[in-house]
Amino acid sequence: MSESTLWAPWRIDYILKKSSPKDDGCLFCRLYAESDDRKNLILARSEHSFVILNKFPYSSCHLLVLPALHLADLEQMEKDVYIDLMLLVKQATAVLQKAVNPGGINIGLNMGAAAGAGIAEHLHYHIVPRWNGDHNFMPVIANTMVMPQHLDSAYEMLKPHFNNV
């Protein structure tokens, strides 16, 4: 059997951030406050929420939908913010169904670090498109995910679908 190398250079940012002290402030609040949506992978903004491509995805076109306000718990959310957030989850799901035609979609919220939230201080929904056979033995054998699409390509493909959101 021949040896092969799987290159995933974008993962180094995640690895280095995990092993170094966190930046001051909330990453999501910082990205939302900046004006360069393309650089920050922000696909859409609504009155109280926004959609962003997950920089460290579980599958291609993995989205995060977040409130613009720095909230860690659903109980902290005013009704209008909650409604806006859930409508954006619905719209983002519709965009994925139209743009990438997945076999299914996982939608989830990990509230708190114990529930698996990587950034527990800022609530965020994961919307993960899925296809039959989209994951293989690599995560089990090599602790490696294989992404068939680069983030830039996913952004360019999805962004036009969010222009009317």
Residue 9's pLDDT is: 65
10-55: pLDDT as tens digits: 666 656 665 445 556 899 999 999 999 999 999 999 999 999 999 8
Q: What is the CATH number of the domain that holds 74?
A: 3.30.428.10
Tell whether 17 is covered by a domain: no
147 Cα distance to chain centroid? 14
Side-chain-side CA neighbours of residue 9 (13 Å): 0
Q: Distance (Å, rounded) from C-alpha 143 to C-alpha 91?
A: 33
Residue 151 pLDDT > 90: no
Q: pTM, whole model, 2 decimals?
A: 0.78
Taking Cα atoms as reference points, which of 78, 66, 83, 84 lies closest to residue 26? 66
1 within some domain: no
Query: Is 7 inside any structural domain?
Result: no
Can you give the residue range of the structural domain that contains 126? 22-132+140-162
81 within some domain: yes
Instruction: Tell whether 124 is covered by a domain.
Output: yes
Is 126 domain-assigned? Answer: yes
Q: Count of domains in the chain?
A: 1
Q: Is residue 13 part of a domain?
A: no
In a domain, 59, yes or no: yes
Residue 27 or 9, more confident: 27
Q: Quick check: helix, strand or coil at residue 7? A: coil
On the 0-12 / 13-18 / 19+ scale of CB atoms within 10 A, 154 is: buried
Q: Rounded distance, CA 45 to CA 66, Å?
A: 10
pLDDT at res. 56 = 85
* Cα–Cα dist 67/37, whole Å: 16
3-class DSSP state of 45: strand
